[in-house]
Amino acid sequence: MVTLLFFGELKDLAVPTAGIDFNGTVGQLRMHIEEVYPNIKNKTFSVAVNKIMASDDTMITAGAEVAIMPPFSGG
């Protein structure tokens, strides 16, 4: 089971689930999210796996916490 956490405007566009059965890469998860939540399809978002920013080839394994975040800036 993988826990998905949506932030910012993405939280309003997705109905977060407690968890999903998923094993694969961040890139594969992006495609899955865009299929399940079509409102997110044209949105830009970053992904963190277990609180570490992840690239599309990062593997996601059972028990992971995955944050789906809109663009942000800091200062």
Boundaries of every domain in the chain: 3-69
Q: How does pLDDT run across 21-64, given as a tens digit for each residue?
A: 999 999 999 999 999 889 998 999 999 999 999 999 999 999 99
Mean local confidence (pLDDT), 4-23 = 85
Coarse DSSP helix, strand, coil percentages of the chain, rounded to the nearest 5 percent: 25, 30, 45
Q: Using an 8 Å Cβ cutoff, are 11 and 69 in contact? A: no
**DSSP H helices in 1-75:** 9-13, 26-36
Count of Cβ atoms closer than 10 Å to residue 61 Cβ: 11
* Total-model pTM: 0.88
Angle at CA of residue 73, ends 8 and 66, nearest 5°: 50
Four-way CATH pick for 3-69: 3.30.110.30, 3.90.550.10, 3.10.20.30, 3.40.50.2300: 3.10.20.30
